[in-house]
Amino acid sequence: MARNTVYRSMHDLGLAAWFGGTLANAVALNAAASVPSKARDRGQVANVGWDRWTPVNAAAIGTHLLGATGLLWANKQRLVGQEGVASMATAKTGLTLAALAVTAYSRLLGKKVSAHADVPVESATAPAENTPTDVAKAQQQLRMLQWAVPGLTGALIVVSAFAGEQQRGHEVLRGLRNRLMP
């Protein structure tokens, strides 16, 4: 087997940034937005943070996807020949698509909130009594979605670890044997 260090590094570093950045923002940035004493300043804190994170996150996601595509291509023979690899790749693809969809939808909601930066809010994901209805609705959705992205990308990390285990010599031999002699 050839080494795939560049693809693997792109895959892992991109995924790590996607997971870690969204988790840090959910845990720290969104909560930090509640600190300013003026309700109108709270949304600005979160919006500036998320707006700065967005291009980094896009680069991380792109890097991850390029690495994942490279790894898939490099392992195409294992995908067909080794039992269990195709189902793992299918699960991983499904998780990736779900994470991409939730990330994109979260960004759309975030842009809606960010467009109204000077409205009063309790925190990044908690509206105040006088927050406009459309912003409040977007914030309430973001409150749930802020945990979905790190949840899905965390699951991708676990499946990726499993995929790495499938590449151990004895696992490859067992998977090929099971494929040839069911």
pLDDT digits (tens, 9 = 90+) for 34-87: 888 887 788 888 888 888 999 999 999 999 999 999 999 998 988 888 878 899
- Count of the separate structural domains present in the chain: 1
Domain range for 18:
5-180
Q: Place 141 in a pLDDT band, splitting at 50, 70 and 90.
A: very high
Count Cβ atoms within 10 A of the Cβ of residue 1 and give its class: 0-12 exposed, 13-18 middle, 19 or more buried: exposed
Per mean pLDDT, which range of 12-26, 28-42, 53-67, 161-175 is the poorest?
A: 161-175
Are 35 and 45 within 8 A, CB to CB?
A: yes
